[in-house]
Structure 1
Amino acid sequence: MSKMSILPFMFISLTACSDEPTAFSSGACPSETNYSQAFLKSDFYSGWKQLHGNGSRQANCKAAMRYFSRGVSQGSVFELSALYLDYCDDGSHILPLANSSIYTGEKQENGIDYDEFKWVLDLALCDSPIEQYALGNMLVKGFITDKDIQKGIYFLSLSAHQEYVHAQVSLAQALVGEGETDVAALWLEKAKENGAHVFAAK
């Protein structure tokens, strides 16, 4: 299997929040003392708390969506709001992701705020698949962090093993770049099983 037969990918996830885990290693994650008051009062953080309420994941996502939708209009929490909006959504909110620096690996109009970057680092270590994906993607692409493909693959793998579709596709891409085409094909197939449409670019 050649590298060109797999890369690059474009995909749309159809997997809703109710089908994906939201796991954290400690009830103390994250610590509110690490963040600014503006961040803690943001629509993103309000939505995140709704998402981790006592209801079902599907119900929590539904309650959180309106906060994430508002958060994408706030520059200071745009990146996280876009990622979580996609996490909870059915794939219809593509535009925020297209303008996301984390998702594209390139600085977009909003960039990434200090609190957002710190959040990604903290939550990635708290076993959150969304932030593990975000950190892995940044490491692989060398966005904000120094480029470190092996560390990026590590965090993408942690997220992918929690069935996060974006991470599974990004992990496949990174593995192809490292010559691991057989393993990459397995992750790509897993992503398809989890509801991703993946198209090879012509």
Structure 2
Amino acid sequence: MTADAIAVELETSKRSVYRDIATLMGQRVPIRGEAGVGYVLDGGFDMPPLMLTSDEIEAAVLGAQWVAGRGDPALARAARDLIAKIAATVPERLRPVLLEPSVAGPPVWHDPKVDALDMAQVRSWIHAGRKLSLHYRDERDRESRRTIWPFLVGYRETVRLLVGWCETREDFRTFRTDRVIAAEFLEDRYPGRPAVLRARWSAKMEADRKAWVEAGKPDLEPRP
């Protein structure tokens, strides 16, 4: 890659690129310059592992513990793997912070509800911006079928929530994943990006919260 291209990508000057590349080469990073080609980074080079502080390690462990106890099976397994990977890469002097942490998440008093749909695939569909067709049963045992634009999975103590734009209601709706009877993963993409829907939903929730507070009901939450 040329110095010009690097400068444009990083929004800096070529002079800064020359200086920083020289610094990296001085640290024995395998970079070489070729006339008419630019800078070349030899294959097989990996960045060194991140050097975490003891506070950062405990923060990561605390978060991973919570996910391991309350996340869907795929995320729970990933959280346990994360702790193992951190243990394998931190310096020996910091390993006791990981193996004998001074922090712990709250115990799981109730077994998490069983999801009727593949949450790993749901998360994949959210990233891809694809639609979901849900057969759903609400808290009053009323069944309905909805096509939604999913953009967020929320994790509570014992349940998980799927948030999306409902084509039937033409508004944002929240669904408990353990109340989903069946789901069809549609190939159709919905308009816009998941991040845009999340921003709109967050703004609406904040507006609803302020309205409830102004109405003198600060201890109540508006229905999502």
Q: What's the TM-score, normalizing by structure 1?
A: 0.24
**Larger RCO: 1 or 2 (CA < 8 Å, sep 6+):** 1
Q: What's the TM-score, normalizing by structure 2?
A: 0.22
Pair member with larger Rg: 2
